Structure 1
Amino acid sequence: MTAAKLPAECASKDDVRAEIDRIDQALISLFAERHGYVTRMAEIKTDPHEAYDPKRIEAIITKVRARSLDLDLDEDQAELIWRTLIDWNINYEKGIIAARRRAK
């Protein structure tokens, strides 16, 4: 396996695409790891309404925006990605919790 290249070290579109593909593989692994924790949270929670916690959501978004600025990443773009992820997780948790309650 070749070492990662910095953006400025990429001499061609193929170089850039290879690095984006490498990062995408790392991201999908991290999303899968995160999903395991979301699933565990859904197992711990007892009421579907617990899946939506506005204070927690805004605390997460505040951290994401601050970290984005630290990394010179557009904070609006990062917020949009995280809000999408959070919305998906809320719906997923609600479904798991509701299904478990129906099965009782």
Structure 2
Amino acid sequence: MVEIGVYSLHRFADSFCKGCFMSATKSPAECQTKEDVRAEINRIDQALISLFAERHSYVTRMAEIKTDPHEANDPARIEAVIGRVREAALRLDLDEDQAELLWRTLIDWNINYEKGIIIARNRKKTT
């Protein structure tokens, strides 16, 4: 079941925006039209979804390694990740609060996903 979810996510990432962006990239200053800007945003969206799919496969593996659903929530680890995200956002001149919100949302989703896998696996062991 887990492999199907990862496979589906990778398949979605591969097909997300086929054909809607050019392989060549333009800097923001080189974009002359809304279409130019949209093409670059589409290219970046494809890269982001591919990275999220890759990250998701590691989250899935972590859930396979953990044995107790409470292990999915590791406050010290979460704060370390958030600290790195905020530092990176600052270096890249991004809003640190927005970056933190985005990552906390991602982390919350991952925690729930991990818990679900662990609980389902533990139920199978007891039946």
C-alpha separation in 1, matches of 2:40 and 2:105: 24
In structure 1, C-alpha distance between the alignment counterparts of 2:28 and 2:98, rounded to whole Å = 20
Unaligned runs of 5+ in 1: none
Segments of 5+ residues of structure 2 without an aligned counterpart are: 1-21
Measured after TM superposition, the shift of residue 10 of structure 1 is 0.7
How many residue pairs align between the two structures? Answer: 104
In 1, Cα distance between equivalents of 2:43 and 2:82: 26
**Runs of 4+ with >4 A deviation:** none
Alignment partner for residue 76 of structure 2, among 51, 55, 73?
55
Instruction: Tell me the residue number matched to 1:75.
Output: 96
- The AA in structure 1 aligned to 2:27 is L
Match of 2:65 among 44, 48, 53: 44
Q: Could you say which residue in structure 2 is the equivalent of 1:92?
A: 113
Q: Percent identity?
A: 80
Structure with more contact order per residue of length (Cα contacts < 8 Å, sep ≥ 6): 1
Q: CA deviation at 1:2?
A: 4.0
Q: State the TM-score, normalizing by the size of structure 1.
A: 0.97
The one-letter code sitting in structure 1 at the alignment partner of 2:100 is E
Taking only aligned residues, the RMSD between alpha carbons, in angstroms, comes to: 0.7
After superposition, the C-alpha distances for 1:47-90 in whole angstroms (9 at most, x for unaligned) are: 00000000100000000000011111111111111000000000
